[in-house]
Chain A
């Protein structure tokens, strides 16, 4: 073998101290990864190399391999590792559908399950299947060819499936004389693509699967310029597994209700997120009933704690309704339920999507009927362009809305693979026709985990993800209140905040059209506006009002209607001479000419705020600057 054949030293331990070896093996973690690339990129050779280097090949297999290599190999006298994992051509000829082949190997630190997706045909379907269970993806690039369209396609697909750890294995470095410039150029090209595709980070490693460079140890003597980890080192140390899932909130989809006798009623399932302990308050979703965890019962005794990834049986202190399809979740932060969604769909069947037709949808342990609408668009996996589409054919990916016949408990796929990933099943052929990833629910009001009590003010604001407020703009006519308030509302809308702007136009023409401009009417005008603004704040909105509101007493009256902190007085501080000089509507002139009575600043007083929450000076600030300043003053919005 070659100089780089530095196999793992586990063998010595096996023969010298089997107990120590087994102890080591017992504490290994598991990493599942997918390899992306074609045979031309040396994928099979790389996997064969990993199996070989980790001693997953027995001598008899090696003997066969050596003789096969001599007979059929493509590597001269050297062992052709690809022969270890290939043999797919024959199966293809037999018409056996192969999505993914799973290989196993182990090192001192970890056990690995490799999802190998062979072939060019069916590539999307196969890769999506293999990536669905992977923690990491190894994207193979032929150093001679660089970043190709297929590299982009593979990267997009693993990114779509939510794989956070990407390894760019620049293979066949031996065929480019281990040239650093070639490697650097490929990394630069890929970096440009990655940022475009939303891939935040990746690890690039120059390797030769055939020669073994930077596979188990780095740097290879051929690549002294490389300072990063060898492929195996990286795979052994990358932080994956169930720790991230444990940091999320507790969720367990109920698979099966265990009722061996009248004294025991347990809910069996695999924990998809968080940690659970006896005594924890939980909520059964979607019904919304709460209870408390009594025991975590297992064959090995009751547990003090169970974590994401474990399959357990939970008993509760109360006799609550709970069955397969329900989710047991942390009482304070349960997942939502909805019946309308927007999702990405990967079509996997020869028969194309039929919009409007009912399919079985399986998500967690829930099975419902779903109707998919005509796709909003299809995604070209090569260019990432959005294409118009009436349906989705085999291996195409698109974004479409769908509705279910009853609400299902879910989380966006970006948050949870387990509660955001689903399959569609044809009701006639029973085939799995599509994989889907929920992006968001179309009806947030379908949150059904509320207790069956009144929807409170806090509920309204929580649903809108914001703290209600009244931004009460006050200032002289022509000071710029409406202009600035309008600008603030626009900026809040861009931040997805729910707002409403009350101004002279939409109040004076309807609600207050019976009021004039006498002092009494002006007070009643403000009182009504205050009441309306308060109702809107109760509904969770951020309300902006733009009225002169010249009297301190009325502004104080409105302030007192609201919970402390929700009334924000914004003084648009424009001196009279400036406002009068602007005189956009010609009102000052009319007032000066005596045509308008009770005009603030001329023949009616304006009582400037003494301690407004916010003061803006429109002489020095543009309306946009003033609006930006106001928003900085009301942060955070929650």
Chain B
């Protein structure tokens, strides 16, 4: 007889969800953004199907402006765990003149994230896609279901969502319809970090503080990740000890000054932060949802 801790209960619930989808869906996929939530999801998926590898591929939507360190981490992880990786990317962005400096945020995320995702889902015929959305992220997400249904054109019909009782998930759907599944719905940000620390999950080094070349712009601390970074007049890279609380396209994602180099210090910073996670990543001028939200929700 022993009491399960809240993390053990959350873990068991997430594993249950993964297995239900694999048992009932024909062709599932996991949306792998390589961020901390995705890393936890991947870890849970590996647990759910151990000793088999997760019986579905990872789908990464690359905007073309991802941090190099994130791409390196992705490739290393995929290789180490023997995963199948599918990369969705808008190959014609340059031709279409789309980039994070000139293009408006709505169009940018549509062209670079939402559309490539939809195309990839359709092309591969995936009927269920795991995403890393959490209910604690904001008021609107608090009402999201674990199983969210999409029409053949990947549209969300909010009037047609199903009640979810007990741990019984209704995965029945028409041909061409698909489901977005959120196995970590009930995890909070603190749970995610705590679990990463406890389980020693390898995450992108960008979450840890280290000296990086930075530029201050519009109240954000941007990191010069490669030579495509477009400096504005008078801007000079300054080396600062910074880390990221959230990861998106590098020219749009603000870093925070920090000395936190280990997991517990990161958690401490997170808990003592004066602003919510949301504020820190409010990159999209005039829009409440950030880039990472879009990865999870917009096209998610």
Residues of A in contact with B (beta carbons under 8 Å apart): 11, 14-15, 18-19, 21-22, 25-30, 58-61, 85, 87, 91, 94-104, 106, 110-111, 113, 125, 128-129, 132-133, 241-243, 246-247, 255-256, 258-260, 264, 266, 268-270, 275, 297-300, 307, 309-311, 313, 324, 348, 360, 362-363, 365, 417-418, 421-423, 425, 430-432, 435
Contacts and interface: CB of A to CB of B under 8 A. Distances in A.
A417 B5 contact: no
Given A241-B4, A266-B51, 6 more contacts: A91-B140, A96-B159, A104-B188, A255-B19, A258-B52, A348-B163
A115 to B, nearest CB: 10
Contacts of A243: 1, 3
B220 to A, nearest CB: 15
Contacts of A264: 51
Contacts of A87: 139
Nearest to A270: B16
A423 B12 CA distance: 21
Interface string B1-16: 1111111111111011
B166 A297 contact: no
29 contacts: A18-B265, A28-B6, A30-B4, A58-B275, A59-B274, A60-B276, A96-B143, A97-B159, A97-B161, A102-B185, A104-B186, A111-B191, A132-B166, A242-B3, A243-B1, A255-B23, A258-B49, A259-B52, A260-B52, A266-B51, A299-B47, A299-B50, A311-B15, A418-B167, A421-B165, A422-B168, A430-B173, A430-B174, A432-B163
A15 B272 contact: yes
Contacts of B272: 11, 14-15
B267 to A, nearest CB: 6
Contacts, number: 192
Contacts of B22: 256
Contacts of B268: 14-15, 18, 21
A29 B6 contact: yes
A258 B8 CA distance: 22
A260 B51 contact: yes
B168 A421 contact: yes
Given A430-B170, A432-B170, A103 B142 contact: yes
B194 interface: yes
Interface string B174-211: 10000000000110101100100110000000000000
B47 A85 contact: no
A362 B274 CA distance: 46
A26 B198 contact: yes
A425 B172 contact: yes
A contacts with B: majority SS: mixed
- Interface size range of chain B in the complex: 35 or more
A60 B4 contact: no
B46 interface: yes
Contact of B9 (A26, A30, A95, A275): A30
Nearest to B139: A87
Interface string B219-259: 00000000000000000000000000000000000000000
B154 interface: no
Q: Which 4 A-B pairs have the closest CB atoms?
A: A30-B6, A260-B52, A311-B15, A58-B276
A360 B172 contact: yes
A111 B189 CA distance: 13
A299 B191 CA distance: 20
Contact of A28 (B5, B275, B276): B5
Contacts of A125: 163
B279 interface: yes
A60 B52 CA distance: 44
Nearest to A272: B167
B48 interface: yes
Contacts of A425: 170, 172
Interface string B135-147: 1100110110000
Contacts of B186: 102, 104, 113
Contact of A310 (B8, B172, B274): B8
A258 B161 CA distance: 31
Contact of B166 (A106, A241, A268, A418): A418
A19 B197 CA distance: 11
A111 B5 CA distance: 9
Interface in B109-164: 135-136, 139-140, 142-143, 158-164
Given A26-B7, A132-B165, A255 B159 contact: no
Interface in B1-55: 1-13, 15-16, 19-20, 22-23, 46-53
Given A25-B194, A29-B6, A299-B47, A432 B162 contact: yes
B69 interface: no
Contact of B264 (A22, A247, A266, A297): A22
A254 to B, nearest CB: 9
A310 B4 contact: yes
Contacts of A421: 165-166, 168
Interface in B242-300: 264-265, 267-268, 271-276, 279
A26 B174 contact: no
Nearest to B136: A104
Contacts of A100: 143
A313 B194 CA distance: 25
A96 B48 contact: no
A311 B274 contact: no
A95 B165 CA distance: 21
Contacts of B2: 246, 307
Given A268-B48, A311-B48, A61 B276 contact: yes
B9 to A, nearest CB: 5
Nearest to A365: B23
Contact of A307 (B4, B6, B265, B271): B4
B163 A129 contact: yes
A94 B158 contact: yes
A423 B158 contact: no
Contacts of B53: 260
